[in-house]
């Protein structure tokens, strides 16, 4: 099977990337369009209010907020929120039990109202106004100047309305939005509110349509690339000039045409000596489209894109620019930990930076449509992207899920997903669903094909997958055979059977592992276990515990390494997320996941280094666990694991060799880990020395037993922020003893103080059982660490963060803010 040479894309940005405040953007040299991002001066009220959409309604007592906004993230956590008695079919549960943290135990259920004002200067009858929402959770109803403009249902969808008839020129326009989150509507924390951007686009009636540009490269050689540009427009007597520029802004090619077919121009433009886009060199071009009517410039947009070719071929797998590459991917939910679902570019960039160090090359948006900011960053930083649409089709997983809207809304939601994002070179595959109950029977197979056909109609250049967990059912129903790419969620024991049964000649690990662990927490004895529970509601960071349906990472590694027809994996998950606290979703308090390779604060767990030792081929990895503070375990067996890119290593305890371990294929764990299972604890120092293939010592690491906590140490991911009122620095706070040795079991209560040109935003410690609220300036350390988020103001200057705790030497860090 060979699914098209695929091309490139990048969404029609409409200068979105340039409009990051309530500002005006002007295209080209003429004032052809304005993009207003409505961020400030919103009023918000939680709870339904009669007549809140009316112009004369008095909202002066409502809360003043900035959008993007998540109304529920400030909590408090509450066991009673969305409490459910249910057997989760996806988890193979047969008996219903009480679930208390499934959706994060945060108060997202209910109605919320937003109101703001904006003006459209110089509005005239030859203008058109588009109101664009990039995500509103959920069931938004939109009112403008007291009249209902329209409504949508899916909280993850991008949508827009032409509101020209409702606009008043040179005076305030009153925008009101009603949102409603139902109980039992999600399997994780969905967030609440206008959590992504709201924009007003003012342009001429003769103009380029919203998301109307589609760029592909159907031919690429070493010397030339053919760039195909399709541009949908409105108006008469039109001419289109498209200029292609390189990453430095130099003009490399252009084309002029007045040949229009229906409402669409099509241009084929040659780019000589193309620089290709890929994870190691994410090179981006831009296409500026200028639309003329009677030789008068009417509209101009800029679209970034990449020149790249993708291909999927039976038995060989996925290739990018003619080179076979496997997906080393992670699944990501849309929340950003302690700041919730409200989109923030700095937080997204930090996540992707951590994933780059991990060696990941791919991301799956799970289980919903990604933010446009996330895709922009993936284009820039070089991540392959699997863009997903739905968690439900016609059959329900939760009582008030997407199945309520599937028949009426699925097609328009898919169309908007594709049109809004298809120009992103990072996107190399679509997913139409995840573990849908429709996997059984012929009706489900028909739905799979129907959705896939919509994706193909709107974008014939990329294949479609579904994350399937009922593999035998999809073999029997024909569901799996319909798909371009069969995606298996877990079920490692069925890979061979699925490969033989499905005609595509390849299998994607669309969701893998679901290993659970708590950062810095270790349990004894050290054994593999499924659904293991402990009194402290934590999971062991020896990385041998998984869920009933899942497995440890090593089992997936074997398939990835030994089967060329397995085209890669997307691990569940890259970061912990709010909600779904398996294996403790029937226990309280427990309100966030244990699946992450990094925790909710973004701090790497031990498992991070297991994946890094295999995925990061540019940097060496040598990581040892556990910590060496085990008062009361003297003389007891305390196994030591080493995750390393080296093949062998020697362990020393207080200078005494515990022997050399070498990776071997006798078991999956011995193939990918070095393990000394019989080490007995004695305080002091453990050291690991790694050897190369010739037996030469090439690297070493030590872990020491720490004394009492003495001093706080602060380290920021960035020490210079943009003075834009929303940039973030993530400051990791650790505690050390008098000798500077980290104290890995410290749980001190800390307090945070921020002065200068910034403010305290939030904190997180990665403890899934913590009920401390993120936005309050105090929190306990967990396993000796936590992270403080500091946000810039709009003034240049300096931020000073001070962290203190009883009996500890205070820590302080300075962060500059500049206009750049």
Q: Where are the domains of the chain?
A: 17-204, 209-305, 329-514+549-595, 622-704, 711-818
- Spatial CB neighbours of 775, under 8 Å, sequence gap ≥ 6: 73, 74, 338, 761, 762
Q: What pLDDT, on a 0 to 100 scale, did the predictor assign at position 126?
A: 92
pLDDT digit string, tens, across residues 204-252? 999 999 999 999 999 999 999 999 999 999 999 999 999 999 999 999 9
Separation of alpha carbons 735 and 781, rounded Å: 9
Q: What pLDDT, on a 0 to 100 scale, did the predictor assign at position 26?
A: 34
Catalytic residue among 34, 134, 139, 511: 511
In angstroms and rounded to an integer, the radius of gyration of the C-alpha atoms of the chain is 27
Q: What percent of the chain has pLDDT over 70?
A: 96
Separation of alpha carbons 69 and 108, rounded Å: 12
Q: What pLDDT, on a 0 to 100 scale, did the predictor assign at position 31?
A: 73
* Cα–Cα distance list, 379 to 10, 343, 618, 820 (Å): 8, 17, 21, 22
Residue 208: CA atoms inside 13 Å, Cβ hemisphere, count?
A: 30
CB 643 within 8 A of CB 623: yes
Separation of alpha carbons 648 and 688, rounded Å: 10
Q: 6: pLDDT confidence band, cut at 50, 70 and 90?
A: very low
**Could you give the 3-state DSSP secondary structure of residue 405?**
coil
* Token pair of 97 as six digits: 């039990």
CB 351 within 8 A of CB 255: no
Peptide bond into 68 cis (omega under 30): yes
622-704 CATH fold: Immunoglobulin-like (2.60.40)
Tell me the pTM.
Answer: 0.95
C-alpha closest to that of 492 among 545, 549, 438, 531: 549
Q: What pLDDT, on a 0 to 100 scale, did the predictor assign at position 535?
A: 98
Q: What pLDDT, on a 0 to 100 scale, did the predictor assign at position 36?
A: 96
Q: What percent of the chain has pLDDT over 90?
A: 93
CB 73 within 8 A of CB 334: no
Q: Does the structure show a pLDDT above 70 at 2?
A: no
* Cα–Cα distance list, 235 to 65, 298, 437 (Å): 39, 10, 45
Region 711-818: CATH code = 2.60.40.10
Q: What pLDDT, on a 0 to 100 scale, did the predictor assign at position 95?
A: 86
Q: Does the structure show a pLDDT above 70 at 594?
A: yes
Length of the chain: 820
Q: What pLDDT, on a 0 to 100 scale, did the predictor assign at position 121?
A: 86
Under CATH, which architecture does the 329-514+549-595 domain have?
A: Alpha-Beta Barrel (3.20)
* Token pair of 241 as six digits: 């000039």
Q: Does the structure show a pLDDT above 90 at 805?
A: yes
Strands 198-204 and 33-37 turn out to be: antiparallel
pLDDT digit string, tens, across residues 62-107? 999 999 999 999 999 999 998 888 888 777 788 888 889 999 999 9
Separation of alpha carbons 600 and 339, rounded Å: 11
* Mean pLDDT confidence for 467-484: 97
Q: What pLDDT, on a 0 to 100 scale, did the predictor assign at position 96?
A: 85
Separation of alpha carbons 96 and 82, rounded Å: 15
* Mean pLDDT confidence for 409-429: 98
Q: Does the structure show a pLDDT above 60 at 5?
A: no
511 tagged catalytic: yes
* Mean pLDDT confidence for 688-712: 97
pLDDT digit string, tens, across residues 761-786? 999 999 999 999 999 999 999 999 99
Q: What pLDDT, on a 0 to 100 scale, did the predictor assign at position 84?
A: 85
* Token pair of 694 as six digits: 């010739």
Q: Does the structure show a pLDDT above 70 at 143?
A: yes
Q: What pLDDT, on a 0 to 100 scale, did the predictor assign at position 89?
A: 77
pLDDT digit string, tens, across residues 270-305? 999 999 999 999 999 999 999 999 999 999 999 999
Domains 329-514+549-595 and 711-818 belong to one CATH topology: no
Q: What pLDDT, on a 0 to 100 scale, did the predictor assign at position 41?
A: 96
CB-CB neighbours of 65 under 10 Å: 20
Q: What pLDDT, on a 0 to 100 scale, did the predictor assign at position 53?
A: 98
Average pLDDT, the chain: 95
Under CATH, which architecture does the 17-204 domain have?
A: Sandwich (2.60)
Catalytic residue among 435, 555, 650, 682: 435
pLDDT digit string, tens, across residues 618-646? 999 999 999 999 999 999 999 999 999 99
Q: What pLDDT, on a 0 to 100 scale, did the predictor assign at position 23?
A: 31
Question: Which one of 3.30.70.2860, 2.60.40.10, 1.10.10.10, 3.40.50.720 gives the CATH number of domain 209-305?
Answer: 2.60.40.10
H or E element at residue 451: helix 441-458
Q: Does the structure show a pLDDT above 80 at 733?
A: yes
435 tagged catalytic: yes
Q: Does the structure show a pLDDT above 80 at 20?
A: no
**Could you give the 3-state DSSP secondary structure of residue 166?**
helix
Q: What pLDDT, on a 0 to 100 scale, did the predictor assign at position 797?
A: 97
Residues pairing with 805 in the sheet = 750
Separation of alpha carbons 227 and 266, rounded Å: 10
């Amino acid at each position: 099977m060979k699914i098209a040479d695929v091309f490139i894309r990048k969404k029609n940005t409409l200068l979105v990337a340039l409009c990051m405040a309530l500002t005006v953007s002007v295209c080209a040299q003429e004032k052809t369009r304005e993009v207003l991002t409505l961020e400030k001066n919103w009023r918000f009220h939680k709870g339904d209010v009669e007549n809140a959409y009316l112009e004369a309604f008095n909202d002066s007592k409502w809360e003043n907020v900035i959008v993007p906004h998540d109304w529920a993230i400030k909590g408090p956590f509450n066991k009673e929120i969305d409490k459910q008695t249910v057997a989760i079919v996806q988890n193979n549960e047969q008996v219903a039990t009480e679930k208390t943290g499934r959706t994060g135990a945060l108060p997202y259920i209910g109605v919320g109202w937003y109101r703001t004002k904006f003006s459209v200067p110089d509005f005239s009858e030859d203008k058109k106004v588009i109101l664009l929402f990039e995500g509103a959770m959920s069931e938004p109803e939109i009112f403008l100047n007291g009249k209902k403009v329209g409504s949508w249902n899916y909280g993850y969808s991008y949508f827009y309305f032409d509101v020209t008839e409702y606009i008043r020129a040179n005076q305030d326009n009153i925008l009101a939005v009603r949102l409603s989150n139902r109980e039992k509507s999600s399997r994780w924390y969905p967030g609440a509110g206008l959590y992504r951007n709201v924009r007003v686009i003012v342009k001429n009636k003769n103009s380029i349509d919203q998301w109307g540009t589609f760029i592909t490269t159907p031919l690429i050689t070493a010397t030339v690339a053919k760039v195909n540009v399709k541009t949908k427009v409105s108006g008469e007597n039109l001419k289109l000039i498209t200029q292609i520029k390189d990453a430095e802004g130099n003009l490399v090619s252009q084309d002029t045409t007045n040949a229009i077919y229906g409402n669409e121009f099509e241009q084929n433009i040659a780019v000589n000596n193309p620089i290709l886009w890929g994870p190691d060199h994410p090179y981006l071009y831009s296409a500026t489209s200028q639309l003329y009517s009677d030789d008068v410039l009417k509209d101009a947009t800029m679209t970034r894109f990449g020149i790249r070719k993708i291909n999927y071929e039976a038995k060989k797998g996925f290739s990018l620019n003619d080179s076979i590459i496997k997906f080393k991917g992670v699944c990501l939910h849309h929340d950003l930990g302690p700041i919730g679902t409200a989109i923030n570019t700095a937080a997204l960039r930090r996540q992707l930076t951590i994933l780059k160090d991990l060696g990941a090359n791919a991301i799956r948006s799970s289980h919903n449509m990604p933010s446009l900011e996330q895709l922009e960053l993936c284009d820039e930083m070089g991540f392959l992207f699997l863009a997903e649409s739905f968690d439900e089709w016609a059959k329900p997983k939760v009582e008030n899920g997407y199945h309520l809207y599937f028949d009426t809304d699925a097609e328009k939601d898919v169309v908007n997903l594709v049109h809004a994002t298809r120009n992103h070179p990072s996107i190399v595959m679509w997913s139409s669903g995840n573990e849908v109950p429709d996997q059984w029977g012929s009706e489900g197979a028909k739905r799979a094909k129907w959705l896939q056909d919509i994706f193909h109609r709107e974008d014939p250049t990329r294949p479609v997958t579904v994350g399937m967990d009922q593999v035998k059912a999809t073999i029997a129903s024909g569901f799996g055979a319909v798909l371009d790419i069969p995606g298996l969620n877990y079920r490692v024991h069925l890979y061979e059977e699925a490969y033989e049964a499905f005609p595509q000649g390849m299998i994607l690990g669309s969701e893998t592992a679901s290993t659970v662990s708590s950062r810095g927490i270790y349990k004894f004895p050290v054994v593999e276990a499924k659904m293991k529970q402990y009194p402290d509601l934590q999971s062991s960071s020896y990385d041998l515990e998984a869920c009933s349906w899942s497995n440890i990472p090593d089992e997936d590694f074997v398939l990835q390494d030994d089967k060329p027809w397995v085209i890669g994996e997307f691990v569940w998950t890259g970061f912990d997320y709010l909600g779904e606290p398996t294996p403790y979703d029937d226990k309280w308090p427990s309100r966030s996941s244990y699946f992450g390779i990094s925790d909710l604060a973004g701090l790497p767990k031990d498992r991070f280094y297991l994946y890094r030792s295999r995925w990061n081929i540019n940097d060496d990895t040598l990581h040892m666990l556990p910590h060496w503070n085990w008062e009361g375990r003297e003389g007891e067996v305390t196994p030591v694991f080493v995750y390393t890119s080296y093949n062998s290593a020697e362990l020393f305890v207080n200078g005494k060799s515990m022997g050399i371990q070498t990776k071997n294929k006798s078991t999956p764990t011995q193939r990918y880990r070095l393990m000394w299972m019989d080490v007995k604890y004695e305080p002091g120092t453990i050291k690991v020395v790694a050897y190369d293939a010739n037996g030469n010592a090439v690297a070493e690491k030590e872990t020491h037993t720490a004394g009492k906590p003495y001093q706080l140490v602060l380290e920021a991911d960035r020490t210079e922020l943009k003075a834009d009122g929303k940039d973030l620095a993530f400051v990791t706070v650790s505690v050390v003893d008098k000798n500077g040795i980290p104290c890995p079991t410290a749980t001190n209560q800390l307090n945070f103080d921020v002065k200068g040109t910034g403010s305290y935003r939030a904190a997180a410690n990665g403890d899934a059982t913590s009920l401390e609220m993120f936005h309050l300036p105090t929190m306990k350390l967990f396993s000796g660490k936590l992270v403080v988020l500091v946000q810039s103001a709009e003034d240049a200057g300096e931020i000073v963060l001070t962290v203190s705790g009883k009996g500890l030497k205070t820590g302080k860090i300075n962060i500059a803010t500049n206009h750049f």
